[in-house]
Amino acid sequence: MPTLLLSQEAVRDLLNMPEVIKVVEQALRDWAQGKGSMPAKAYLLLDQGDFRAMPAALPEAAGVKWVNVHPQNPSRGLPTVMAIMIYNDPQTGYPLAVMDATDITAYRTGATAAIASKYLARPDSHTLGVIGAGRQAYTQIEAHAQLFDLKLIRVHDRSRDAAQKLISFFPRYHLKACSLEETAASDIVCTLTPARVPFLKREWIVQGTHINAVGADAAGKEELDPAILKEAMVIVDDIRQASVAGEINVPITEGTFAIDEIYGTLGEIIVGKKQGRKDKDVITVFDSTGVAIEDLAVAKLIYEKAKKSGSYMSLDIIGVSQ
């Protein structure tokens, strides 16, 4: 039985943001309804970075993502984040595919934030603020543009070159380099940095703003003024992960925010167990740590498209006795 081997180029050819948004939302729905399984993300900390092992199962799918975060990699000509996905047959355990998951990670993260905005941002949101112009900024813009009529996308990055590169990549949208304070005044704000000192101040945030806090994905990382969390309706992707590695991890450690102050999970809102935005003036925060359920849903999509195509490399990795 052959195992499909899908390179980054192959995966990129098969990725499509509207399809990714659809399968990720369905995966979050399935998970909230008890149809999925996901152990806690396991971290392997090293001097120069870290690795995360992320297993999950959904109806008719199982797999694990092995992903790294090495902040100094760009100086070495390598991406900060790289990932491999092993996609298995849940009935037998056989590895159906081994695929690059670097772009899967970027796409599903952008898709999940846009889904959160769909349920938590004001329906008439027309401005998007992107803080941090790295790889994730591209999929955040692409995903949000699928769900919102964006009149203006404000971009802030400490590197003017990075901001300009992002702006040049999207000539079909109105992107503008702005100050941090100006960017924070958008209807939807996405924070996409590795910050360990909060930079997004409460006084910059307009009532009714929705914030996707994406950058904090490990212990010690923090982007938002804790005062924002105290006032906001806080939604997480996974309470276990968020409490130890998400935007709320430092405030919880310091005692300025408690787990019982979390309003609920995105999955609970999608299936209607919890109400989303309650009024136009509430500030909402989605603490996005990235969950393996999302990766698996996209891997399943990629595998099915690749198998149907029949034009991708395969290898008999495991000998099967007849």
Contact 191, 131 (CB under 8 A): yes
284 pLDDT tier (thresholds 50, 70, 90): very high
Question: Are 88 and 224 in a shared domain?
Answer: no
Is residue 55 in some structural domain? yes
pLDDT over threshold 70, residue 3: yes
pLDDT at position 320 is 64
pLDDT per position as a tens digit, 141-192: 999 999 999 999 999 999 999 999 999 999 999 999 999 999 999 999 999 9
At 103, list the tokens: 């772009």
For residues 252 and 245, what is the distance between their CA atoms, to the nearest angstrom? 10
Q: Which of 39-43, 276-280, 305-309 has the lowest mean pLDDT?
A: 39-43
pLDDT at position 321 is 57
Question: Are 62 and 97 in a shared domain?
Answer: yes
Question: Are 310 and 170 in a shared domain?
Answer: no
Is residue 260 in some structural domain? yes
pLDDT over threshold 70, residue 113: yes
For residues 76 and 188, what is the distance between their CA atoms, to the nearest angstrom? 33
For residues 321 and 47, what is the distance between their CA atoms, to the nearest angstrom? 43
Catalytic residue at 22? no
Question: Are 153 and 94 in a shared domain?
Answer: no
SS3 235: strand
Those residues with Cβ within 8 angstroms of residue 246's Cβ, 6 or more apart along the chain or in another chain: 213, 216, 217, 236, 287, 288, 289
pLDDT at position 229 is 97
Number of domains into which the chain is organized: 2
Contact 84, 98 (CB under 8 A): yes
pLDDT at position 38 is 95
H-only helix segments in 148-291: 160-169, 180-184, 226-231, 239-245, 249-254, 266-270
Is residue 191 in some structural domain? yes
Is residue 38 in some structural domain? yes
User: Which one from 22, 35, 41, 65 is the annotated catalytic residue?
Assistant: 65
Is residue 76 in some structural domain? yes
Global confidence as pTM: 0.94
pLDDT per position as a tens digit, 207-236: 999 999 999 988 999 999 999 999 999 999
For residues 143 and 129, what is the distance between their CA atoms, to the nearest angstrom? 13
Question: Are 35 and 97 in a shared domain?
Answer: yes
Q: What is the CATH number of the domain that holds 246?
A: 3.40.50.720
Instruction: For the chain, give the mean pLDDT.
Output: 96
Is residue 198 in some structural domain? yes
pLDDT at position 111 is 98
Question: Are 131 and 212 in a shared domain?
Answer: yes
Q: What is the CATH number of the domain that holds 72?
A: 3.30.1780.10
Question: Are 100 and 42 in a shared domain?
Answer: yes
Question: Are 242 and 258 in a shared domain?
Answer: yes
Question: Are 49 and 185 in a shared domain?
Answer: no
Question: Are 136 and 221 in a shared domain?
Answer: yes
Question: Are 232 and 153 in a shared domain?
Answer: yes
Is residue 176 in some structural domain? yes
Per-residue pLDDT, averaged over 18-26, amounts to 98
pLDDT over threshold 70, residue 282: yes
Between 3 and 218, the higher pLDDT residue: 3
Domain with 49, as residue range(s), is 3-104+293-315
What's the first-to-final CA gap in the chain, in angstroms? 11
pLDDT at position 92 is 95
SS3 289: coil
Per-residue pLDDT, averaged over 282-291, amounts to 97
pLDDT per position as a tens digit, 249-271: 999 999 999 999 999 999 999 99
pLDDT per position as a tens digit, 29-83: 999 999 999 998 888 999 999 999 999 999 999 999 999 999 899 899 998 889 9
Per-residue pLDDT, averaged over 86-109, amounts to 96
At 146, list the tokens: 């699928």
118 pLDDT tier (thresholds 50, 70, 90): very high
Question: Are 278 and 187 in a shared domain?
Answer: yes
How far is it between the farthest Cα atoms of the chain? Answer: 68
Is residue 113 in some structural domain? no
pLDDT over threshold 60, residue 322: no
User: Minimal CA–CA distance to 223: which of 213, 212, 236?
Assistant: 213
Contact 249, 196 (CB under 8 A): no
Q: What percent of the chain has pLDDT over 70?
A: 99
